[in-house]
Structure 1
Amino acid sequence: MVPLVHGATYFDRLVSCLVQMRPGDLVMFTDWRGDPDQRLDEHGLEVTTALSEAAGRGVVVKGLVWRSHLDKLSFSEQQNRHLGEEIEAAGGECLLDMRVRPGASHHQKFVVLRHLDRPELDVAFVGGIDLCHSRRDDARHEGDPQKQPMAAVYGERPPWHDIQLMVHGPAVADVEATFRERWEDPAPLSRNPVNVLSERLRHDTRTAGPLPTQHPDPGPRGSANIQLTRTYGNRHPGYPFAPEGERSVARAYTKAVRRAERIIYVEDQYLWNSEIVAPFAEALRSRPSLHLIAVIPHYPDQDGRLSMPPNLVGRQAALNTLYDAAPDRVAVYGVQNPAGTPVYVHAKVCVVDDVWASVGSDNINRRSWTHDSELACAVVDDARDTREPQMLDRFGHGARAFARSLRLELGREHLDLDDDTDLIDPSRAFEAFAASAARLQSWHDAGAVGDRPPGRLRPYRRPHLTRRTLAWATPLYRVVYDPDGRPLRMRYARRF
């Protein structure tokens, strides 16, 4: 299990694995958005070229990409279509998959590589990074030259912070099983009559071809125990593998957070909805030793007069709930690069007491926990971290190597640190984050005169929407931006 922080790191590793694939090997991938011309490395190798070349060598290539909506609505129907067409021209197969609840998306982002006679090379990549524009950034956060439209505050090349996991061992087969379940779903790829008619006129593929027989699970690798957690909305008719949907992402978060004792570290694109953050608030109220550090975007990715307020409704409610629970033990930050440009935080990470960690496509909001399709890896490592304090939780589990190393790696980057001295102990980490962000904020407040202090975090200022704005933005937020995909009885009972 290897965390690949930043899109450039992930893309480089993906390319190095793809070029090793031989005839009869199998590539399976899912995406929310796929841009065929997205460059994966410094040599200009594009997504469609990498996958098409693999198919041309006799590798079996299968893909599922969410159909999305029209590009004039700032989505990605045309890019996804072109990616599928080019892969199929090379002998692969890529389906535009709209088998979701109305208004939902297939948000899973993973790649699985299985090898016919070299199981030691089997690998899966799971996380929040799509094979599309804006994702290829690195620790310098200068942005991807192949940008996608975003709010003006993010500049010409929007900086992007994200993470993907590189998974080996038996869990690779579990990720593959998720792909196979979706691929073999007998429901029509789309029920939209306009889409159906256009597909027929273009003679598009509307049924999935057969997949090769699944290989035996890869052998154990490393010390990490990985549980896949997923979300599927309550679709009609139901998924064969999830008749009333699935909400194991929500259940895993709820269980882990309620056991927290010393620290919850979160990086999230949204952090929305007072109901969704209720377990975090409950844990903060019941555990006076618990601190919460959250790293989120300073600004939404869209800044229109109609799109901005609904983006802030759920954020305002969630942060008010958290600060009301423990005002002195909650700290929320946004990231900027050394040039002062805000960095868009797209990562979906949670670490609890350096024991449990989750990385995936899921955000902390109602849409991700109930409505869209999501996939995450919840990790508990058998290997212990022996640095003090070793024991953060009240159950005697002790700090684990993967969870602690991930939290420290992210912390070092955000604070521009070369070592972990101030980050291992949760209380000291909370203070170090606060001090670093305060110094940078003071430097900006003083006119950015003199040397810029180290660190990339600034305190996030909570939104304060007026009653008039809330009156029109809240219904739009609930219905469009953060809908609920649970069966009605679960909504009323507030269960997942």
Structure 2
Amino acid sequence: MRVPPRGSHHQKMVVIRHADAPRRDVAYVGGIDLCHSRRDDARHRGDPQAQSMSEVYGVTPPWHDVQCAISGPAVYDAETVFRERWEDPAPLTRSRRRFRVDRDHVDVRAEPLPPQAPPPPAVPGGTHVVQLLRTYAGRHGRRAYPFARRGERSVARGYAKAFERARDLIYVEDQYLWSRAIADSFVESLQRDEGLHLVVVMPRWTDSDNPVSRLPQLLGRQRAMSRLAAAAPGRVAFYAPENSDGTPVYVHAKVCVVDDTWCSVGSDNFSRRSWTHDSELSAVVVDTAASDHSPYARRLRLTLAAEHLGRGVDGPGYPGDVSEIAHGDGDPGDDDDLARLMHDCPDAVGTFRTFADSAAALEEWHRGGRRGTRPPGRLRPLAPPRLNPLTMALAFPAYRWLHDPDGRPWRLRLRGRY
């Protein structure tokens, strides 16, 4: 609650602090909701405790998501985000009816929290700089956030700064990728540098079969994907994953890796809603290690590539969980796996080609009636939705005002800024 009408409190985090052992303090920040249907792994068989979704995802919908575990001083920052919202004095809702219902069925009292402990010590030898980015819509009067009087849009500004410096590859995993306004955040970078490539992994189908929800979402997707494809032909690619049984995997992850240097894992999607309207929280990580052997952003990209290219849990030649690659815990096998992936995906051109070849082979196998051995890999090419003009016109109001609202103050909207 305490979000604008049609809004969502969308932050996903867990903070665990130890009074007598601060080095064990940890904060989990990312896209994973604490609810049923989310408990899946890299094999993507789905959560046995499933919630209903579109029929194309089956009885136990496969779910792809990403969360990061944070240690060191940044745990204090994540806890501060929680405390700010917990101690917000604004009323939970302006609706008297909703307040009565909640009061009768839910404990709505914000009981005092214990004093906040100092930041935990830095991890010995740690080289990761962590910055938390947030979104809060602007609110007025008694409803204004004490910690963000005019709202906050550091998520949008963080992406803008990262994209200004992008020269090689922007790798994205996202649930929505809605609207031309958000697509334009990529377009300037793609048009400025002809060596820049964009790879996007997203779900093939919406999470609902209901036309009232599905068509506006498809419209937003169509506007963004068409804009990007036209801006840089041959340098933009969209893919949708499936598991080894051919069931589509719902991509709920919100990940962005820029030039293997800057990466973001959080709750925000590439949509105007996430950048201006809902409450969001993301962790940006930059590895300051002097060595270029295995920076965090590169390991994250290769971990995800291992899964999508079929070289992880159930892929040929790559035993073990793909998460071992990202953790880099020193096991001999880690560097071998990393080296093999680096051979195939050393840079933007190699990554772009490897993803395209893998997806083309799997698509051809499907078109051939799924005869013979299934090719390795889980990605299939994804084209922009095709909607006729009448459908687009009918879907636009719901898309614009319900699915992708704008929470910026009017002055920022008119100036096109965040």
Q: TM-score, structure 2 length as denominator?
A: 0.91
Q: In the TM superposition, what is the alpha-carbon distance from 1:305 to its structure 2 partner?
A: 2.1
Mapping 1:94-243, distance limit 5 Å: 98-202=1-105, 204-221=106-123, 222-236=126-140, 237-243=143-149
Q: In the TM superposition, what is the alpha-carbon distance from 1:424 to its structure 2 partner?
A: 2.1
Does structure 1 residue 441 correspond to structure 2 residue 363? yes
Q: In the TM superposition, what is the alpha-carbon distance from 1:385 to its structure 2 partner?
A: 5.3
Q: In the TM superposition, what is the alpha-carbon distance from 1:461 to its structure 2 partner?
A: 1.9
Does structure 1 residue 479 correspond to structure 2 residue 382? no
Does structure 1 residue 425 correspond to structure 2 residue 347? yes
Contact 2:203 2:251 in 1 (8 A): yes
Q: Which runs of 4+ in 1 moved over 4 A?
A: none
Please give the secondary structure, in 2, of the residue aligned with 1:490. Answer: helix
Contact 1:172 1:218 in 2 (8 A): yes
Mapping 1:270-349, distance limit 5 Å: 270-349=176-255
Residue 121 of structure 2 aligns with an amino acid whose one-letter code is G
Contact 1:189 1:207 in 2 (8 A): no
Q: In the TM superposition, what is the alpha-carbon distance from 1:200 to its structure 2 partner?
A: 4.0
Q: Name the CA distance, whole Å, in 2 between partners of 1:160 and 1:434.
A: 23
Please give the secondary structure, in 2, of the residue aligned with 1:368. Answer: helix
Q: In the TM superposition, what is the alpha-carbon distance from 1:324 to its structure 2 partner?
A: 1.1
Deviations 1:55-105 (Å, cap 9, x if unpaired)? xxxxxxxxxxxxxxxxxxxxxxxxxxxxxxxxxxxxxxxxxxx11111101
Residue 244 of structure 1 aligns with an amino acid whose one-letter code is R
Deviations 1:17-66 (Å, cap 9, x if unpaired)? xxxxxxxxxxxxxxxxxxxxxxxxxxxxxxxxxxxxxxxxxxxxxxxxxx
Q: In the TM superposition, what is the alpha-carbon distance from 1:257 to its structure 2 partner?
A: 1.1
Residue 375 of structure 1 aligns with an amino acid whose one-letter code is L
Q: In the TM superposition, what is the alpha-carbon distance from 1:264 to its structure 2 partner?
A: 0.2
Q: Name the CA distance, whole Å, in 1 between partners of 2:369 and 2:104.
A: 60
Q: In the TM superposition, what is the alpha-carbon distance from 1:308 to its structure 2 partner?
A: 1.1
Relative to structure 1, the CA distance from residue 380 to residue 201 in structure 2 (aligned partners, 3 Å threshold; closer, same or farther) is closer
Residue 214 of structure 2 aligns with an amino acid whose one-letter code is M
Q: In the TM superposition, what is the alpha-carbon distance from 1:425 to its structure 2 partner?
A: 1.9
Q: In the TM superposition, what is the alpha-carbon distance from 1:366 to its structure 2 partner?
A: 0.5
Q: In the TM superposition, what is the alpha-carbon distance from 1:408 to its structure 2 partner?
A: 0.5
CA RMSD of aligned residues (A): 1.1
Give the alignment partner of residue 462 of structure 1, picking from 384, 387, 393. 384
Q: In the TM superposition, what is the alpha-carbon distance from 1:205 to its structure 2 partner?
A: 3.4
Deviations 1:255-287 (Å, cap 9, x if unpaired)? 101210000000000111111121211111110
Q: Name the CA distance, whole Å, in 1 between partners of 2:100 and 2:347.
A: 60
**Count of aligned pairs:** 386
Q: TM-score, structure 1 length as denominator?
A: 0.76
Residue 96 of structure 2 aligns with an amino acid whose one-letter code is P
Mapping 1:397-408, distance limit 5 Å: 401-408=295-302
Relative to structure 1, the CA distance from residue 122 to residue 314 in structure 2 (aligned partners, 3 Å threshold; closer, same or farther) is same
Q: In the TM superposition, what is the alpha-carbon distance from 1:386 to its structure 2 partner?
A: 3.0
Does structure 1 residue 383 correspond to structure 2 residue 277? no
Q: Name the CA distance, whole Å, in 2 between partners of 1:386 and 1:376.
A: 25
Q: Name the CA distance, whole Å, in 2 between partners of 1:175 and 1:200.
A: 28
Residue 403 of structure 1 aligns with an amino acid whose one-letter code is A
Q: Name the CA distance, whole Å, in 2 between partners of 1:198 and 1:449.
A: 56
Please give the secondary structure, in 1, of the residue aligned with 2:131. Answer: strand
Please give the secondary structure, in 2, of the residue aligned with 1:350. Answer: strand
Q: Name the CA distance, whole Å, in 1 between partners of 2:108 and 2:354.
A: 54
Please give the secondary structure, in 2, of the residue aligned with 1:277. Answer: helix
Relative to structure 1, the CA distance from residue 431 to residue 177 in structure 2 (aligned partners, 3 Å threshold; closer, same or farther) is same
Contact 1:385 1:404 in 2 (8 A): no
Relative to structure 1, the CA distance from residue 385 to residue 129 in structure 2 (aligned partners, 3 Å threshold; closer, same or farther) is farther
Q: In the TM superposition, what is the alpha-carbon distance from 1:176 to its structure 2 partner?
A: 0.5
Q: Name the CA distance, whole Å, in 1 between partners of 2:71 and 2:246.
A: 38
Q: Name the CA distance, whole Å, in 2 between partners of 1:118 and 1:192.
A: 44
Residue 111 of structure 2 aligns with an amino acid whose one-letter code is G
Question: What is the percentage of aligned positions where both structures have the same residue?
Answer: 56
Contact 2:29 2:67 in 1 (8 A): yes
Q: Name the CA distance, whole Å, in 1 between partners of 2:211 and 2:280.
A: 29
Contact 2:39 2:46 in 1 (8 A): yes
- Which shows bigger deviation, 431-440 or 320-329? 320-329
Relative to structure 1, the CA distance from residue 160 to residue 187 in structure 2 (aligned partners, 3 Å threshold; closer, same or farther) is same
Q: Name the CA distance, whole Å, in 2 between partners of 1:178 and 1:383.
A: 28
Q: Which structure has the higher relative contact order (CA within 8 Å, separation 6+)?
A: 2
Contact 1:107 1:361 in 2 (8 A): yes
Contact 1:440 1:454 in 2 (8 A): yes
Please give the secondary structure, in 2, of the residue aligned with 1:306. Answer: helix
Structure 1, gaps ≥5 residues long:
1-97, 388-399
Q: Name the CA distance, whole Å, in 2 between partners of 1:384 and 1:344.
A: 37
Q: Name the CA distance, whole Å, in 2 between partners of 1:104 and 1:264.
A: 29
Contact 1:350 1:358 in 2 (8 A): yes
Contact 1:336 1:456 in 2 (8 A): yes
Q: Name the CA distance, whole Å, in 2 between partners of 1:158 and 1:463.
A: 22
Please give the secondary structure, in 2, of the residue aligned with 1:228. Answer: strand
Contact 1:258 1:280 in 2 (8 A): no
Relative to structure 1, the CA distance from residue 206 to residue 461 in structure 2 (aligned partners, 3 Å threshold; closer, same or farther) is same
Q: Name the CA distance, whole Å, in 2 between partners of 1:108 and 1:384.
A: 33
